[in-house]
């Protein structure tokens, strides 16, 4: 596994996560009743203490009623206030020791309040979904809520049989007894807490692409009345998968699923092996196709290659934004240089107060971060030349597959592919708030400009909203 571990507290969310230990597996057994929005769960965490003995540790969990907690089978002392479970084991855990934590809890899940609205568990008109970025995971299960702490997951959900349950990972079993069905999913790849996705709703399940041709299994879970529009809007997702595997390396997970909720969502949201869209992203005219590409690209950039803390969010969003431009370039839409010029014009008219490599919590989801992130990647492409750039990009996703990275690690990686020093270029784009000049490419691009895939209707610009 590539990347680096970090033991620092996330400066943007110091109350989330505990660097004194790490979790390597979660097993969640949940019962959910949509009508009363009632969730009861047992979470079993397998963890490892850090370099010092662990006399206490913290978990993040919203305002559920906690029935029981066990640490290695013994009841600890604990307090639960302000979204934090403070657990003091009966005996301190030795440095480096493996231990288990079991939490039994129940209540009415609701989103975590944040400057960007509610995050995490959202009750829908008929069902529920989870969209946790960045700190919404504690709205439905106890976790060490920091992106660098990646673990495998098994998620079991019992709910009325009329509902479909979708989670990231492989569906192991679906068992119906009386009027309820239990769905069990396994996500074996290391996963950050904010990337554990879940949706419960009235869906029809369809396969995308031709399963007989091999490749990555792709499924979609869509309300029946939206299927005609969906079939057009997502028709080219298998071609996106093919292109991104060519450019970024093999898809990093076992399968990919998309869910379309029967409600409007502000933006689509990525989860591990899963992306969540709203009904407003399905119009039958491919009006949100760039967002389909954006969310798929996050499976490489953000989900497999994960940031150590939220200061580095541009690595997720800038690379996913640039993937939109690459898809447009290869599918008969506008080329990356044209899209970069449009982004540069937009940013030129905006305040110059955003430092990309450390935007601060207030600006971490600002539209300018997405656009400037894409422009930064384009500037690197122009400096390296296409042959070196695409080798760099593929190697980044491959070397750090399932790992944890920082902006400094990325800068060092880019420098290894450059014929000339790039430190000054990277400093201007990443660490200075003023916008550098529009980059221009070296020579003729080696990524084909001709349509490699069926052309879009109206080009690749899509709509002007940011995507998570």
**Binding-site residue positions:** 294, 298, 317
Measured between its terminal Cα atoms, the distance across the chain in Å is 25
CA 113 to chain centre: 19
Q: Catalytic one among 186, 289, 295, 329?
A: 295
Going by C-alpha positions, the residue among 148, 147, 145, 150 that lies closest to residue 62 is 145
Query: What span, in angstroms and rounded, lies between the C-alpha atoms of 42 and 57?
Result: 19
Residue 370 annotated as catalytic = yes
Q: Give binding residues for Zn(2+) as ranges.
A: 294, 298, 317
Cβ-count burial 248-275 (b if 16+ within 10 Å, e if not): bbebbbebbbbbbbbbebebbbbbbbbb
Q: Is 87 helix (H, G, I), strand (E, B) or coil?
A: strand
Please give the full DSSP string across 34-80, using - where no structure is assigned. TTTTEEEEEEEEEEEE-SS-BS-EEEE--SPEEEEEEETTB--EEEE
What is the sign, positive or negative, of the torsion defined by CA atoms of 322, 326, 331, 333? positive
**Residue 39 neighbours by CB distance under 10 Å:** 22
42 within 8 A of 184, measured Cβ to Cβ:
no
> Given the DSSP bridges, would you call strands 269-271 and 218-222 parallel, antiparallel or unpaired?
unpaired
Q: Catalytic one among 324, 370, 371, 417?
A: 370
Residue 295 annotated as catalytic = yes
Q: Which residues are catalytic?
A: 295, 370
């Amino acid at each position: 596994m590539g990347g680096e571990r970090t033991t620092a507290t996330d400066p943007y969310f110091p109350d989330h996560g505990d660097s004194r230990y790490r979790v390597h597996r979660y097993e969640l057994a949940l019962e959910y009743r949509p009508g009363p929005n009632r969730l009861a769960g047992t979470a079993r965490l397998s963890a490892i203490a850090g370099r010092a003995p662990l006399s206490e540790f913290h978990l993040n969990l919203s305002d559920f009623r906690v029935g029981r907690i066990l640490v290695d089978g013994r009841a600890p002392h604990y307090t639960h206030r302000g979204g934090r479970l403070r657990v003091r084991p009966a005996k301190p855990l030795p440095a480096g020791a493996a231990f288990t934590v079991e939490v039994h809890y129940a209540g009415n899940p609701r989103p975590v309040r944040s400057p960007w609205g509610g995050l995490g568990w959202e009750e829908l008109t008929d069902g529920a979904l989870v969209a946790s970025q960045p700190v919404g995971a504690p709205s439905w299960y106890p976790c060490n809520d920091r992106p660098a702490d990646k673990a495998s997951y098994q998620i079991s959900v019992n709910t009325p049989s009329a509902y479909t349950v979708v989670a990231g990972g492989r569906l192991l079993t679906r068992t119906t007894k009386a009027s309820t069905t239990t769905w069990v999913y396994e996500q074996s790849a290391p996963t950050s807490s904010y990337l554990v996705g879940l949706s419960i709703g009235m869906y029809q399940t369809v396969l995308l692409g031709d399963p007989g041709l091999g490749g990555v299994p792709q499924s979609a879970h869509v309300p029946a009345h939206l299927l005609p529009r969906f079939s057009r809007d997502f028709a080219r997702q298998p071609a996106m998968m093919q292109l991104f595997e060519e450019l970024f390396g093999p898809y990093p997970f076992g399968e990919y699923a998309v869910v379309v909720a029967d409600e409007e969502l502000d933006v689509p949201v990525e989860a591990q092996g899963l992306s969540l869209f709203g009904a407003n992203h399905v119009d039958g005219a491919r009006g949100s196709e760039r967002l389909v590409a954006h969310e798929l690209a996050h499976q490489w950039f953000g989900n497999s290659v994960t940031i150590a803390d939220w200061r580095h969010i541009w690595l997720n969003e800038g690379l996913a934004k640039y993937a939109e431009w690459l898809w447009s370039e290869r599918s008969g839409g506008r080329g990356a240089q044209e899209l970069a010029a449009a982004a540069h014009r937009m940013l030129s008219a905006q305040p110059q107060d955003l430092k990309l490599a450390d935007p601060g919590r207030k600006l971490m989801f600002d539209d300018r971060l997405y656009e400037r992130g894409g422009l930064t990647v384009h500037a690197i492409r122009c400096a390296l030349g296409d042959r070196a750039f695409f080798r760099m990009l593929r190697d980044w996703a491959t070397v750090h597959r399932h790992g944890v990275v920082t902006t400094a690690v990325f800068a060092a990686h880019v420098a290894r592919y450059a014929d000339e020093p790039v430190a000054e270029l990277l400093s201007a784009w990443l660490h200075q708030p003023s916008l550098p000049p529009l980059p221009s490419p070296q020579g003729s691009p080696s990524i084909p400009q001709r349509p490699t895939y069926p052309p879009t209707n109206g080009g690749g610009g899509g709509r002007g909203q940011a995507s998570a």
